[in-house]
Amino acid sequence: LVLLQRLQHPNVIKLMGHCAGEAETGRVTIILEQGAPLQMIQLLQSPWEDRFRVCLDLVRLLHFLSHSPLGSVALLDFQPRQFVTVSGSLKLTDLDDASVAETPCQTHADCRLQFPHRNFTLGCSSRGVCEGLGEKRNIYNAYRYFFTYLLPHQAPPGLTHLVDHIMNSTGELKADINQTLEAFEHVLHLYRSGLHLDDLPPSELTDYTLMPGMAVSGSVDYRCWPSYSQQGCVLSVHSAREAAFICSSHAQCSSFTLTGQRTWTGRLLASFRSSFARLVSDEASEVYVKKTE
């Protein structure tokens, strides 16, 4: 209860209230905002953008914990089951095993982090404590439980070199949490702004006929993976130019529709189709049809 009151952050579950029981029992009931258990298998099947969001939220949380009002906080029981999602945002829900205690040491050998497949030795400071031990523990656990599974797979080609750098720096504990957060925020900036698309071939929009204020009806959808819809091919794009590039790379695609719906990064949702029966009026949508069709 005290930790939830002191560690308030967008990626920590919100404490809504608490009730003290009878004094002799010592029981306290806490009321938390409602979240959904983190489903890693479902996340593995979701678009890269949503998987990146979970990793970014986690890094923002770990940055806060390293500079919290209580000092550097280490999560000793670091498992996906300790987290939930609220409206797509990752939140830490279990603080029972959070520790703010610094590890005393006499030599560097006393500052050893042991994991199932890797060990790291950190420095013993002049104050006689293991400098940054909790922060580094958090970073490596984030790498082995989250980044390894969620971050590299199907990352946009223009961002793969930056994602590889993040994987290397966190997997080898070469970066602190400030540097790690900076790297994640840089990837977000490039992805949100579309700057990672500078190497795309020249715009192929000239191969499409634009029909503004229209939507399609009686469409024949094909499926692609990963898609925001299980019934068709719905992907996030920065612009119509990127959507045209994707449509041209799909042999089945003959048209795509932009409805104005956006993802958490502000990117557009584009629906790709193999054919459709007719056009209908829709002021919020625009349809792009291949001229050869």
- CATH at 136: 1.10.510.10
Residues 158 and 188 in one domain: yes
The pLDDT tens digits for 7-41 are 999 999 999 998 887 766 778 888 999 999 998 99
Q: At residue 292, does pLDDT exceed 80?
A: no
Which band of pLDDT confidence, cut at 50, 70 and 90, is reported for residue 293? low
Q: What is the mean pLDDT of residues 46-59?
A: 96
Reported as a single tens digit per residue, the pLDDT across 253-268 is 999 999 889 999 999 9
Tell me: do 138 and 242 sit in the same domain: no
Catalytic residues: 77
Q: Are residues 4 and 129 in the same domain?
A: yes
Q: In terms of domains, do 1 and 69 share one?
A: yes
Within this chain, do residues 174 and 242 fall inside the same structural domain, yes or no?
no
Both structure tokens of 33:
């905002």
CB atoms within 10 A of CB 160: 13
Q: Alpha-carbon distance 147 to 181, whole Å? A: 13
DSSP-derived 3-state class of residue 130: strand
The answer as to whether 203 is a domain residue is: no
Phi and psi, residue 231, nearest 5°: -95, -5
Judge whether 130 lies within some domain.
Answer: yes
The structure's pTM equals 0.91
Question: Distance between CA 178 and CA 156 in Å, rounded?
Answer: 24
Query: What range defines the domain where residue 224 resides?
Result: 208-290
Overall domain count for the chain: 2
Half-sphere exposure of 268 (CA within 13 A, CB side): 20
Based on the fold, state whether residues 259 and 154 are members of the same structural domain.
no
